[in-house]
Structure 1
Amino acid sequence: MQLPKAVTIKEVGPRDGLQNEKIVIPVEDKIAWINKLSHTGLPYIEVTSFVNPKWIPALADCYEVATSIERKEGVTYAALVPNQRGLEKALEANIDEISVFMSASESHNKQNINKTITETYPILEQVVREALAEGKSVRGYVSTVFGCPYEGHIEIDQVLKVSEKLFEMGISELSLGDTIGVANPRQVQNVLEQFLRVFPKERLALHFHDTRGLALANIYASLQMGITTFDSSLGGLGGCPYAPGASGNVATDDVNYMLKQMGIETNIDDEKLLEAAQYIEKPLNKKLMSHSLLVHSSNC
């Protein structure tokens, strides 16, 4: 079995990790945290989301965060953008990469975006077109690929249909989301078998939640299929406000540890990751529950 020699980890903690927290983190702490993340070796940080504050109050400071962080050369700073208005603010803040998102599930899409899938397409098409015209790269997210909290199983043909539409718009990479953490390794490989018949593996990423403790196993299954890009959130922060019961994203520190132990290069510093995780625990007023942090705390 041939595993990749190197993997890209994309940090989504400042956006996906904080969007579902009940405590609103002071803007200065967010900025300081992202600055710490920038010095860990992470090549990509999703710093915020330019959404209407009434939908996600925790990210109401998106513009201030995006314009106040210290940009480190070699790091891509991305943001989630739902519509034209959000794009205007993201471009004004000089975000490096624009992320657009939708669901493969009609019910989840309505809950998350307040629109049907068909109604969502033209909005995203405009965002992608204008972002590309401004010289920005665009990444796409598809949620509920492996299961929906409202509909259960989602047919792979429906997931492929949505994914093809996003690639037709001009996205450079697609992140496939296990939004409620229901995927298992065999299912992951079955889905990827279908996807890899249509799309090159270099343009796919996986975004796992650890609701049932299977996220690392699912990453390993993806590695076996040749996938080399994964989203994660430091300390396991995060969830989905429109997916009841969904726990945090797979922890960046745990993913990094597993990959390094397997001899797969990430270029990320373990100690600096743990320092950044411990920093954000104080404003969150809670301990992060990643395995790496728990082990580190017990050894201190």
Structure 2
Amino acid sequence: MIQLIECPRDAMQGLPDFIDTAIKAAYINQLLEVGFHTIDFGSFVSPKAIPQMRDTAEVLEMLDLHKSKSKLLAIVANVRGAEDALQFEEIDYLGFPLSISETFQRRNTNASIEQALETVETIQNLCEVKGKEQVVYLSMGFGNPYGDPYSPELVAEFVQKLDELEIKIISLSDTIGVAEPSLITELFKVQVEAFPHITFGAHLHSRKDQIEEKVIAGLKGGCRRFDGALQGFGGCPMAKDELVGNMATEKMIETLEKEGFELNLDKSELREAMKLSNSVFF
């Protein structure tokens, strides 16, 4: 079964002009009608770091969740953010960005990798108390532009540490769009076989002409969870200055269906969401 994670938070967070709270909520409400597994809808982080997400709590109050089967995921960068997010029953998942790159970890969360792992453990304990689940994103999971060490073996070491903390969902993240299909397949194949009790996701950034080959590469490696954003909007504002777009969800859907997967999405609601995205992002 394929899990499609739609990420309006990732699509919006790097935009310089603030999107009105009501517009954010209207767009996410439309996405909730489509039938995605999860909506990565917002983040509880410093408004100084990501000003676009300063209204996440207000957006949440405006969401109509009664008819939707989609779950909600919010990104947090420290324990305080996790405690804020855990105040809301509507949120199912807390996502934490752990980096294989020491440079990017400090740039992204103002903490070392060692400190970040301690944060992951604390958040995991909080989630267990509240009945929530933590999703850990292994950023720079396919390469490193900062000169820090990188290897598939290093990825495996991080996964082992997260397994010891009983993390059940790990998303391998290509933060800057450098992943080659062969490496995508190799990384997922090794991790999926070594840790069958963990759900491994792909949070890839890509040019549109490379999306199909990257999805197929992930499938070959055993990945069944994919993150994307309609029309490929967004990218990580804490990475290199030139943002590489998210995987365009509509292209991933096309590829997955071509590969024979039944996604059970409401295509008419998807078309409406595509139309609405044009007014939100242009």
Q: Give, as a single letter, the amino acid of the residue that structure 1 aligns with 2:183.
A: Q
* Paired residues for 1:1-300 under 5 Å: 6-12=1-7, 14-71=8-65, 72-94=67-89, 95-151=91-147, 154-200=150-196, 203-211=199-207, 213-244=209-240, 245-284=242-281, 286=282
Q: What percentage of residue pairs aligned between the two structures are identical? A: 33
Deviation at 1:165, TM superposition (A): 1.9
Per-residue Cα deviation, 1:62-90 (whole angstroms, up to 9, x for no partner): 11112221114422111011222112221
Deviation at 1:217, TM superposition (A): 0.7
Further displaced range: 160-169 or 119-128: 160-169
Deviation at 1:215, TM superposition (A): 2.9
Further displaced range: 132-141 or 55-64: 132-141
Per-residue Cα deviation, 1:133-175 (whole angstroms, up to 9, x for no partner): 1111111111011112312772122222222222322322110
Q: Give, as a single letter, the amino acid of the residue that structure 2 aligns with 1:53.
A: P
Per-residue Cα deviation, 1:77-129 (whole angstroms, up to 9, x for no partner): 11011222112221222211111221111111111111110121112211111
Per-residue Cα deviation, 1:15-53 (whole angstroms, up to 9, x for no partner): 111111122110001111111001111121011010010
Deviation at 1:190, TM superposition (A): 2.0
Give unmatched runs, 5+ long, in structure 2: none
Distance 1:153 1:85, change over 3 A: closer
RMSD: 1.8
Give unmatched runs, 5+ long, in structure 1: 1-5, 287-300
Q: Secondary structure at the match of 1:163?
A: helix
Answer whether contact 1:107 1:150 (CA < 8 A) is retained: yes
Deviation at 1:202, TM superposition (A): 5.7
Deviation at 1:271, TM superposition (A): 3.4
Deviation at 1:55, TM superposition (A): 0.4
Per-residue Cα deviation, 1:208-264 (whole angstroms, up to 9, x for no partner): 111484232111011122221111111111111122223111011111122123321
Answer whether contact 1:201 1:226 (CA < 8 A) is retained: no
Q: Under a length normalisation based on structure 2, what TM-score does the superposition of the two structures give?
A: 0.93
Partner Cα separation in structure 2 for residue 152 and residue 170 of structure 1: 27
Query: How many residues were matched structurally?
Result: 279
Q: Give, as a single letter, the amino acid of the residue that structure 2 aligns with 1:256.
A: I
Q: Under a length normalisation based on structure 1, what TM-score does the superposition of the two structures give?
A: 0.87
Answer whether contact 1:112 1:242 (CA < 8 A) is retained: yes
Distance 1:191 1:43, change over 3 A: closer
Q: Give, as a single letter, the amino acid of the residue that structure 1 aligns with 2:260.
A: G
